[in-house]
Amino acid sequence: MSDKDLSKNKERVSIVVNVPQVKPYERIVTSRPVTFTCQYCQQTMTQERMPSPTPLYCSERCRLDAAATRKRASRATTGKNKGKRGRPKKIDV
Ligand SMILES: [Zn+2]
Protein backbone atom coordinates (compact mmCIF):
# COMPACT_ATOMS: atom_id res chain seq x y z
CA MET A 1 0.00 0.00 0.00
CA SER A 2 1.43 3.39 -0.94
CA ASP A 3 0.48 6.88 0.22
CA LYS A 4 -0.87 7.68 -3.21
CA ASP A 5 -3.41 4.87 -2.99
CA LEU A 6 -4.52 6.03 0.43
CA SER A 7 -5.28 9.55 -0.74
CA LYS A 8 -7.26 8.11 -3.63
CA ASN A 9 -9.38 6.14 -1.21
CA LYS A 10 -9.99 9.22 0.88
CA GLU A 11 -11.42 11.07 -2.11
CA ARG A 12 -13.77 8.25 -2.82
CA VAL A 13 -14.95 8.03 0.76
CA SER A 14 -15.72 11.76 0.94
CA ILE A 15 -18.18 11.33 -1.92
CA VAL A 16 -19.98 8.53 -0.13
CA VAL A 17 -20.20 10.54 3.08
CA ASN A 18 -22.08 13.27 1.21
CA VAL A 19 -25.15 11.05 1.08
CA PRO A 20 -27.64 12.73 3.42
CA GLN A 21 -28.89 11.01 6.57
CA VAL A 22 -27.62 7.52 6.51
CA LYS A 23 -29.56 5.43 8.97
CA PRO A 24 -27.30 4.45 11.81
CA TYR A 25 -26.85 0.76 12.03
CA GLU A 26 -28.08 0.05 15.50
CA ARG A 27 -29.87 -2.99 16.74
CA ILE A 28 -30.54 -4.01 20.28
CA VAL A 29 -30.33 -7.76 20.49
CA THR A 30 -31.30 -9.50 23.66
CA SER A 31 -31.40 -13.20 24.18
CA ARG A 32 -34.48 -14.78 25.60
CA PRO A 33 -35.37 -18.25 26.80
CA VAL A 34 -36.91 -20.35 24.06
CA THR A 35 -38.63 -23.63 24.84
CA PHE A 36 -38.71 -26.20 22.08
CA THR A 37 -38.70 -29.93 21.44
CA CYS A 38 -35.69 -31.46 19.82
CA GLN A 39 -36.69 -33.06 16.54
CA TYR A 40 -34.12 -35.78 17.00
CA CYS A 41 -34.20 -36.93 20.64
CA GLN A 42 -37.68 -35.51 21.40
CA GLN A 43 -36.37 -33.77 24.48
CA THR A 44 -38.15 -30.60 25.49
CA MET A 45 -35.73 -27.99 26.65
CA THR A 46 -35.30 -24.31 27.22
CA GLN A 47 -32.34 -22.45 25.86
CA GLU A 48 -31.27 -18.85 26.12
CA ARG A 49 -31.28 -17.76 22.53
CA MET A 50 -31.09 -14.73 20.32
CA PRO A 51 -34.34 -13.85 18.59
CA SER A 52 -34.31 -16.24 15.67
CA PRO A 53 -36.41 -19.05 14.31
CA THR A 54 -37.02 -21.71 16.95
CA PRO A 55 -34.24 -24.24 16.84
CA LEU A 56 -35.12 -27.78 15.80
CA TYR A 57 -32.46 -29.60 17.75
CA CYS A 58 -31.23 -29.36 21.33
CA SER A 59 -27.59 -29.57 20.36
CA GLU A 60 -25.21 -29.52 17.45
CA ARG A 61 -24.83 -33.26 17.89
CA CYS A 62 -28.53 -33.91 17.45
CA ARG A 63 -28.58 -31.63 14.42
CA LEU A 64 -25.73 -33.52 12.77
CA ASP A 65 -27.13 -36.92 13.72
CA ALA A 66 -30.51 -35.98 12.34
CA ALA A 67 -28.93 -34.81 9.10
CA ALA A 68 -26.95 -38.03 8.81
CA THR A 69 -30.04 -40.13 9.51
CA ARG A 70 -32.05 -38.22 6.96
CA LYS A 71 -29.36 -38.78 4.34
CA ARG A 72 -29.22 -42.47 5.07
CA ALA A 73 -33.00 -42.78 5.12
CA SER A 74 -33.47 -41.02 1.81
CA ARG A 75 -30.89 -43.27 0.23
CA ALA A 76 -32.61 -46.36 1.60
CA THR A 77 -35.96 -45.15 0.33
CA THR A 78 -34.74 -44.60 -3.19
CA GLY A 79 -33.18 -48.05 -3.13
CA LYS A 80 -36.46 -49.56 -2.00
CA ASN A 81 -38.39 -47.74 -4.68
CA LYS A 82 -36.14 -49.21 -7.33
CA GLY A 83 -36.84 -52.73 -6.16
CA LYS A 84 -40.55 -52.09 -5.71
CA ARG A 85 -42.53 -55.25 -5.69
CA GLY A 86 -44.88 -55.04 -8.59
CA ARG A 87 -48.38 -56.19 -7.95
CA PRO A 88 -49.44 -58.80 -10.49
CA LYS A 89 -51.89 -57.36 -12.93
CA LYS A 90 -55.45 -58.46 -12.53
CA ILE A 91 -56.71 -59.99 -15.69
CA ASP A 92 -60.42 -60.32 -16.27
CA VAL A 93 -61.31 -63.71 -17.51
ZN1 LIG B 1 -31.67 -33.56 20.87
Give residue 36's pLDDT. Answer: 93
Residue 7 has pLDDT above 60, yes or no: no
In a domain, 89, yes or no: no
Return the pLDDT at 23.
74
The angle at the Cα of 80, spanning 76 to 84, to the nearest 5 degrees, equals 175
In a domain, 33, yes or no: yes
> Quick check: is 1 in a domain?
no
Residue 66 within a domain: yes
- Asked whether residue 82 is domain-assigned, the answer is no
> Per residue in 7-33, is it b (16+ CB within 10 Å) or e — as a string?
eeeeeeeeeeeeeeeeeeeeeeeeeee
CA of 37 to the centre of ligand 1 (A): 8
Model-level pTM greater than 0.85? no
Looking at the domain assignment, is residue 14 inside a domain?
Answer: no
From CA 45, how far away is CA 58, in angstroms rounded?
7
- Convert the pLDDT of each residue in 57-67 to its tens digit: 999 999 999 99
Within 8 A by CB and 6+ apart from 72, the residues are: none
Distance 54 CA to ligand 1 centre (A): 14
Distance 44 CA to ligand 1 centre (A): 8
Assess if residue 20 is contained within a domain: no
State which residues form the domain around 63.
27-70
Q: For the chain, what is the domain count?
A: 1
